Every structure is written in C-alpha cells, then in structure tokens.
C-alpha cells in the first residue's frame, strides 16, 4: 500500500501582539487542514506573537502570555492533524525563538532556533538565546525536521537533521521582502535540498508590520531542487501538499504554481500591502494627503486608493500664490481619475499671519528657505488638523531621493503617520507611475487605466515655494542624483569610486554632505515599507551627529 503524507501550508498574516486573533487564525487553518484530511498544518515562525516583535518579546508578561496562548491552542486541537506554530519559549533564564509541534492535544516537539539573524533589519542576537540544533520529530508516517528561518540559510542544521533521520524539511519563516527576494531564497533552499537529498517546504509569513513586509511566496522543492508548488506573493493562502513515499524517500506531488510578479509589481504590491496593513493594524480606515499636483503625491494617492479604495482617500490641495495653475489642474485631474475626494485649503492668510508675528524678529533679513519652510510647515499643521478632526491618517509623500538629501521639510511635508514611497528613489517613482498607468491587478482596489495624468509624469518637479522654482535649481538631475545615492547608500562606495565612474567630484562631495547632515531628519521621519536592501533606519543606521567626510 502506498504511504502518503499530507501537509497543509498556512501562509497567513499575523498581527504583532494580537495573541487571541493570531490563535483564531491558526485554529481556522487547522480546521481547514482537518477537513482536507491533512496529517499536519505548518504555520510560520513566531506566528502566535506576530513578527517581528522587537523588544516586546523582552517583556516577561507578554512572552508568558504568548507561551500560554500557544499551549492553550495546541492542547485544544484534538481529533485532527498535528500543528506546528512559532512562539517564544523561556527556560532556565534563556529566551528562545521556538517552533511548537502539537499532535492530538499533546506537545510532541519544541524546536529552538539555532542561528539568530543580526544583520540588516534583524536584531535577534540581542533578543534571543541560540538553541541547540534540534532533531526531527515524527508526524504520522513521516519524520519532519524544522530548521527555523535563518537555520535554513546555512548547511549545518539541515545536514544534522538529515543525519538524525529527518525525511522532510519543513521550514517555518518570517522572511521579510526586498526586491527580487524570491530568487535569493530559492538559491539557498535549493542548496539545502541538494546537500541533504530531502524535499523541503518553505512556509513564509505574509503581510505588513511597521516598516517590514512579509511576502509569503511559500514553495515546495523536491529532491534535486525541482519546485513543484508555489504559493502567491503578498496574499494569504492555504495549500495542501501530498507526499508519496517511494524507494528513495518522500516526494511531493505537483500542486499550485502561482505566477510570481516581476520586480515592478513586487515593489508596488509591497507598498500597497504595507500601507493597507499599517492602517488596518493601527485601527485606521481612511487617509488624507497633501495633493500638490506633483508626481510624488499623485503616486501616494494612487497607492492609497489601491490599498483601501478611493472612497477612503482624501486629497487636500493647499495652494499659495506660487502654486501654478498647471499644478491646480493636475491635482484635480489626478484626484478625479483616481476617484478620491479633493478639498482645497488656502495657506496665504495663515502664512501672512505668521510673517506678521515674526516681523519684529526678522526685520533687516532677506527672505530665504526660512520663509519657504513656513509654507510647508503650515501645510503640515493644516493637514494634521484635518487628520485629528476626521480620524484619517496623514500620509507623507517624500521619495527616497529627497529624504536622502534632506529636501523635505521636517514638521512640514514630513509630518504624518506613514510614507508609502519612503524607500523609492525618484527615478523609480517616475517609472512606477508609468507601470501603474499600464497595469491593473485584481488585488488593486483603485480604478484601472491611466490614473496618473501624463503631464504630472513629464513636467519638471518643483516644490513651488518660490517663483519659478525647480528641483534641479539646487540638485543635479535625478538620474545623476539617484546614481550617486545608489553608490553612497546602497553600495557604500567611496567618493573616489564614484568619481572614477565619471561623476563630478564637487557634485559627489555635495551629495555626500547633504546625505550626512540630513540624518537627524530621517530619524524623525514617518515609517514606510522597506522594498530595498538598504532602507533608511532598518538597514542603514548612522549617527545623527557625524563630522567624518570621505576624502578625494
């Protein structure tokens, strides 16, 4: 008689701190697994708490309640499949990232994470203790080994599991997104399969948590590295995978093969999901933003409409005498195409009142960026007032290029609760707008078609804080600026490296100076979705006061 083993993958969206809600999600998935005749349900890493918990897991009351919630759930599930669920564990004064396995109401295994990630956005080496490499555990006819997330990126844990009798590797993950992450993961997991000769099931979390995105995209590999199951990216999914034991061990049967989005759609989906989940998990249902008639606010408004529906998006135009008629027309055109509400609040009176109040102190000085920033800060004040009054989260609209060099006004256009394009360079903003005008997907709640007016994409960017102002009056063209920033931020290149690539030495020095002196602004900036490998704050943490400058 052919031996079969059915595993249910629960690619689900946990909320940090919602112990009862996460347990309810797990119970619902277990019931689906039971109804499908599964032998086991596998859920992601630290699912009962949500991920990442950051220092919340150091709070004894929280961690004990999380352990209790996992135990209460696991011991209550009888007459169905085993369940594997991530949770913290405390023992002998040590704190572990663990994976609990229950079968018929009894705890049959507790796997402890061995390799603790501590680079880029991770801080687990500070939070957790490293556990010993755990052995496999039996579930029905199969022996399962579970390297937890980072444990699967190195050979030792998987090889030890294979040597001690594991027959299938089930890898629970809280693996965060960055651009083209799927290919990177796949390379490591194929390595584990080739080294051990075992099939591997990669179970990843999905959803947004603060600045971080978990893209799901769980998959199954057979011995030899062939992918036979692929779950969708950025969406919750339940999948049932059948294994059949042959002469050479267990082999997974072919299942769903969801098409993975390309790099542009990945980024856009990540920004949309990040905003949607940040709002939902924070308790907000509506947003507002300052709509300038420029490309950044147009893209943020579009992302918001796709995330929560255009009926939940308020765009506010805050013109002064420096605001062109073109900007007014473009803002109205964009809001109409998106289907969002557009309100207008004039700032001239408030600006003049502030000017009059400061006149006795400013007497004898010449107008400069001080007066320009007053306009921006008044817009922030008015937008925050609307946010407070109507319970709508204010979105900020500064792209990564502007945030990098400080061309955003602290307490002005940086005011707000979330920035969907925080990790998107300006050149990618342009291309993302073009991509969105050409593409619409079922997961987008906004309108299809050319929602961002072409003139917004083609006109020269301007803050419009003084007559005839253009961004390129004080910055190099964005193609040059972004290339220099990519070298300084993404690749940590020396100035000499950039000059050797053909960039002007004075320009490179100037951009480096702006980058360093703007650190204090970024420290106070709203969170936003991480879509690159060098997001500000999560991946790149610099001192706020720093006198070092590279030399040429």
Q: Which H helix or E strand runs over 269?
A: helix 263-282
- In 3D space, the residue among 394, 374, 382 whose CA is nearest the CA of residue 527 turns out to be 394
Pairing outcome for strands 219-221 and 200-204: antiparallel
Name beta bridge partners: 252: 243
DSSP collapsed to 3 states, 64-93: HHHHHHHHHHHHHCCCCCEEEEEEEEEECC
Rounded CA separation 166/521 (Å) = 51
| Packing angle of the helix pair 505-517, 478-485 (nearest 10 deg) | 70
Q: For residue 429, what are its two tokens?
A: 């903003």
Instruction: With H, G, I as helix, E, B as strand and everything else as coil, classify residue 213.
Output: strand
Q: Which residue has the tokens 């078609």?
A: 449
Q: For residue 265, what are its two tokens?
A: 């759609």
Does 45 qualify as catalytic in the annotation? yes
Q: Which residue has the tokens 């409409």?
A: 305
- Selecting among 25, 124, 149, 281, the annotated active-site residue is 149
| Packing angle of the helix pair 369-390, 348-362 (nearest 10 deg) | 130
Rounded CA separation 112/162 (Å) = 17
Does 149 qualify as catalytic in the annotation? yes
- Strand order from edge to edge, sheet including 249-252: 106-112, 94-103, 82-91, 40-42, 4-11, 237-246, 249-252
Q: Which residue has the tokens 């994976």?
A: 99
DSSP state of 547: -
Report how far apart, in Å, the C-alpha atoms of 179 and of each of 176, 227, 340, 538 are.
10, 21, 29, 15
426: Cβ contacts below 8 Å, ≥ 6 apart = 399, 400, 401, 402, 461, 478, 481, 482
Q: Where are the beta strands (DSSP E) in 365-517?
A: 393-394
Rounded CA separation 391/43 (Å) = 35
DSSP 322-345: TS-HHHHHHHHHHHHHHT-EEEE-
- Selecting among 25, 59, 91, 113, the annotated active-site residue is 113
- Selecting among 45, 150, 167, 512, the annotated active-site residue is 45
Catalytic positions: 45, 113, 149
């Amino acid at each position: 008689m052919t031996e079969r083993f059915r595993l249910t993958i629960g690619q689900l969206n946990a909320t940090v701190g919602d112990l009862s809600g996460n347990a309810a999600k797990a119970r619902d998935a277990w019931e689906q697994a039971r109804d499908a005749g599964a032998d086991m349900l596998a859920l992601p890493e630290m699912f009962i708490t949500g991920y990442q918990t950051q220092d919340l897991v150091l709070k004894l009351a929280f961690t004990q309640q999380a352990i209790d919630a996992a135990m209460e759930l696991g011991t209550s599930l009888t007459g169905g499949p085993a369940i594997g669920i991530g949770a913290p564990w405390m023992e002998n004064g040590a704190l572990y990232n663990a994976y609990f396995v229950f079968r018929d109401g009894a705890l049959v295994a507790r796997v402890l994470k061995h390799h603790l990630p501590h680079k880029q956005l991770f801080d687990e080496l500070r939070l957790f203790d490293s556990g010993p490499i755990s052995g496999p555990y039996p579930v029905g006819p199969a022996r399962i080994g579970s390297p937890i997330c980072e444990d699967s990126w190195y050979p030792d844990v998987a090889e030890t599991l294979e040597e001690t009798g594991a027959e299938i590797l089930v890898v629970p993950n809280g693996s965060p997104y960055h651009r083209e992450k799927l290919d990177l993961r796949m390379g490591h997991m194929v390595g584990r399969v080739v080294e051990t000769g075992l099939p591997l099931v990669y179970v990843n979390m999905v959803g947004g948590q603060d600045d971080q995105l978990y893209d799901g995209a769980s998959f199954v590999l057979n011995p030899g590295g062939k992918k036979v199951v692929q779950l969708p990216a950025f969406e919750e999914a339940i999948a049932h995978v059948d294994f059949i034991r042959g002469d050479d061990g267990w082999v997974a049967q072919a299942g769903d093969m969801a098409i993975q989005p390309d790099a542009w759609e990945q980024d856009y989906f990540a920004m949309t999901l990040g905003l949607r989940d940040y709002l939902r998990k924070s308790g907000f249902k509506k947003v507002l933003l300052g709509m300038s008639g420029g490309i950044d606010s147009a893209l943020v408004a579009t992302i918001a409409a796709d995330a929560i529906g255009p009926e939940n998006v308020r765009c506010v135009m805050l013109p002064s005498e420096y605001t062109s008629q073109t900007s007014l027309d473009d803002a109205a055109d964009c809001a109409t195409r998106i289907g969002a509400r557009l309100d207008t609040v004039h700032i001239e009176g408030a600006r003049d009142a502030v000017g009059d109040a400061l006149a006795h102190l400013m007497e004898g000085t010449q107008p400069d960026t001080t007066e320009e920033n007053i306009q921006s800060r008044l817009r922030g004040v008015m937008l925050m007032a609307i946010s407070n009054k109507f319970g709508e989260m204010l979105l900020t609209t500064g792209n990564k290029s502007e945030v990098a060099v400080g061309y955003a006004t602290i307490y002005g256009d940086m005011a707000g609760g979330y920035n969907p394009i925080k990790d998107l360079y300006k050149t990618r903003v342009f291309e993302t707008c073009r991509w969105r005008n050409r593409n619409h997907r079922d997961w987008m709640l906004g309108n299809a078609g050319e929602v961002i007016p072409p003139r917004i994409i083609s006109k020269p960017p301007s803050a419009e804080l003084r007559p005839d102002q253009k961004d390129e009056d004080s910055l190099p063209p964005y193609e040059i600026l972004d290339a220099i920033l990519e070298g300084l931020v993404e690749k940590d290149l020396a100035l000499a490296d950039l000059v050797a690539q053909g960039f002007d030495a004075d320009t490179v020095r100037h951009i480096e100076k702006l980058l360093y002196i703007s650190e204090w602004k970024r420290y106070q900036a709203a969170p936003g979705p991480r879509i690159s490998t060098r997001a500000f704050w999560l991946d790149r943490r610099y001192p706020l006061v720093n006198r070092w400058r590279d030399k040429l």
